[in-house]
């Protein structure tokens, strides 16, 4: 009996050693086993922040009085607002629409006079509410300003203003998402997330499938050029990607009531640009991976930072600077801004071309890498 158990454990040990040797040979798989947990720890521990601060803010001060300046300083002292200066009302609207600022504080021309009379004048706040999670804590800080901002300014004859009702009120105007619905932010973003998850994996497996089945040599023996090979592999998934986008768009409109303020044609063109970027990544992975399993592993390794650093799950401005730099490299970051700007803000291409240019540059880099890797495969 003991001899049988000993032999069984010996066989188990032999299989164990064999698997360890195999794992050592598959360096990509081993790297994924180590790299994915480390990446998750770093991103969740350092990059993710649900309480964004230092949000870009402008002031429309039609009444540039000492009381107004005290309120502005009090808002800045909350650490939720990074003041970029004073602008006109029309400029504030343009900056909000372009996404360059998160808030605009608007003081009416008779703000100080009405405050000293005890009439509770309004401080009008324009907030870019296309991402409710980014504005929530900052809005709470704004609503607390009336009871705190002027505690040292109302002295002498005006001290009674501190003892009664709040000296002024905050009127919040949530732009592009008046009800603060999370679905308005999440559902359009799902277009990019789902395309990234499915198309990268499917394209990455395309070349490795040929290699595993032994048909890659037949393709290499044909007069098909690398660029033609890449186009032929990618085009079927472009059609598949558009099918996914139409399904998501129809669901967002009919089930969740997400508005479509912009041009559907412009959205279609931007979707094609992003699909091309996504498929270029998948094709590049397919030239590196040696099996379909490795293709899936590389897809996961690429998908995680895209979801966590693009602004889909967590506010982009809440991340540290180094994480924002990485996020700016990822095409999903720019595509999310494009989709939300078209659907919620009605933005035109003139406002979106910097994001489109960033995706186009990413496509050029990935296409170059893919072609170089594919030529190495031929050699």
- What the block records as the tokens of 312 is 């889909």
**118 lies in the same domain as 240:** no
What pLDDT sits at residue 230? Answer: 66
What pLDDT sits at residue 232? Answer: 72
Distances (CA, A) of 214 to 104, 196, 202, 207: 61, 28, 18, 11
pLDDT digits (tens, 9 = 90+) for 36-82: 677 777 777 777 777 888 999 999 988 888 888 888 898 888 889 99
What pLDDT sits at residue 359? Answer: 96
Where in the sequence is the domain holding 95, given as residue range(s)? 55-175
Q: Of 211, 338, 352, 192, nearest to 277 (Cα)?
A: 192
Beta bridge partners of 215: none
Q: In sequence order, what are the residues at sequence separation of 6 or more whose Cβ sits closer than 8 angstroms to the Cβ of residue 286?
A: 203, 204, 205, 206, 207, 208, 233, 295
**146 lies in the same domain as 188:** no
pTM beyond 0.75: the answer is yes
Is the per-residue pLDDT at 200 higher than 80? yes
| Domain end position, chosen among 154, 175, 196 | 175
Q: In sequence order, what are the residues at sequence separation of 6 or more whose Cβ sits closer than 8 angstroms to the Cβ of residue 13?
A: none
What pLDDT sits at residue 23? Answer: 62
What pLDDT sits at residue 2? Answer: 61
**331 lies in the same domain as 215:** yes
**140 lies in the same domain as 202:** no
Give the total number of structural domains in the chain: 2
pLDDT digits (tens, 9 = 90+) for 291-330: 777 788 788 888 888 988 898 888 888 888 888 999 999 9
pLDDT digits (tens, 9 = 90+) for 94-113: 999 888 999 999 999 888 88
Residue 229 domain flag: yes
Beta bridge partners of 57: 83, 103
Residue 340 domain flag: yes
- What the block records as the tokens of 329 is 């490299």
Distances (CA, A) of 83 to 8, 319, 377: 71, 19, 53
**79 lies in the same domain as 158:** yes
What pLDDT sits at residue 265? Answer: 92
Q: Across the chain, which distance is largest between two alpha carbons, in Å?
A: 100
pLDDT digits (tens, 9 = 90+) for 260-283: 988 999 999 999 999 999 988 888
Residue 148 domain flag: yes
pLDDT digits (tens, 9 = 90+) for 325-348: 999 999 999 999 999 999 999 999
**100 lies in the same domain as 66:** yes
**245 lies in the same domain as 270:** yes
**120 lies in the same domain as 224:** no
Residue 369 domain flag: yes
Residue 18 domain flag: no
What pLDDT sits at residue 82? Answer: 92
Sheet with 81-86, edge to edge strand ranges:
81-86, 55-61, 103-107, 122-128, 169-175
What pLDDT sits at residue 157? Answer: 46
Residue 3 domain flag: no
């Amino acid at each position: 009996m003991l001899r049988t158990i000993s032999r069984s454990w010996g066989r188990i040990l032999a299989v164990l050693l064999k698997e360890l040797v195999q794992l050592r040979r598959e360096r990509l798989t081993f790297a994924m086993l180590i790299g994915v947990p480390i990446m998750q720890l770093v991103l969740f521990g350092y990059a993710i922040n649900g309480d964004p601060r230092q949000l870009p803010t402008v002031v429309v001060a039609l009444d540039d009085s000492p009381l107004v300046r005290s309120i502005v300083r009090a808002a800045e002292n909350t650490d939720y607002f990074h003041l970029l200066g004073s602008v006109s009302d029309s400029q504030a609207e343009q900056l909000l629409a372009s996404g360059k600022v998160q808030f605009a504080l608007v003081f009416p021309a008779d703000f100080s006079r009405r405050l000293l009379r005890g009439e509770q004048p309004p401080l009008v706040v324009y907030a870019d509410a296309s991402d409710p999670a980014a504005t929530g804590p900052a809005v709470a800080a704004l609503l607390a300003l009336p009871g705190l901002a002027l505690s040292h300014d109302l002295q002498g004859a005006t001290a009674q203003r501190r003892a009664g009702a709040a000296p002024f009120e905050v009127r919040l105007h949530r732009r592009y998402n008046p009800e603060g619905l999370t679905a308005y932010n999440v559902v359009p973003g799902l277009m990019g997330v789902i395309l990234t998850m499915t198309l990268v994996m499917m394209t990455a497996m395309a070349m490795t499938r040929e290699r595993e089945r032994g048909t890659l040599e037949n393709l290499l023996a044909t007069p098909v050029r690398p660029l033609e090979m890449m186009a032929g592999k990618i085009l079927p998934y472009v059609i598949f990607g558009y099918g996914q986008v139409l399904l998501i768009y129809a669901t967002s409109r009919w089930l969740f009531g997400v508005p479509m303020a912009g041009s559907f044609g412009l959205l279609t063109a931007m979707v094609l640009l992003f699909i091309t970027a996504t498929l270029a990544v998948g094709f590049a992975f397919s030239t590196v991976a040696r099996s379909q399993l490795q293709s899936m592993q590389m897809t996961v390794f690429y998908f995680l930072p895209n979801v966590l650093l693009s602004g889909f799950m967590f506010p982009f401005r809440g991340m540290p600077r180094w994480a924002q730099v990485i996020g700016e490299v990822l095409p999903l970051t720019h595509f999310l801004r494009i989709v939300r700007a078209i659907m919620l803000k009605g933005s035109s291409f003139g406002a979106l071309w910097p994001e489109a240019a960033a995706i186009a540059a990413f496509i050029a880099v990935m296409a170059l890498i893919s072609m170089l890797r594919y030529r190495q495969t031929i050699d």
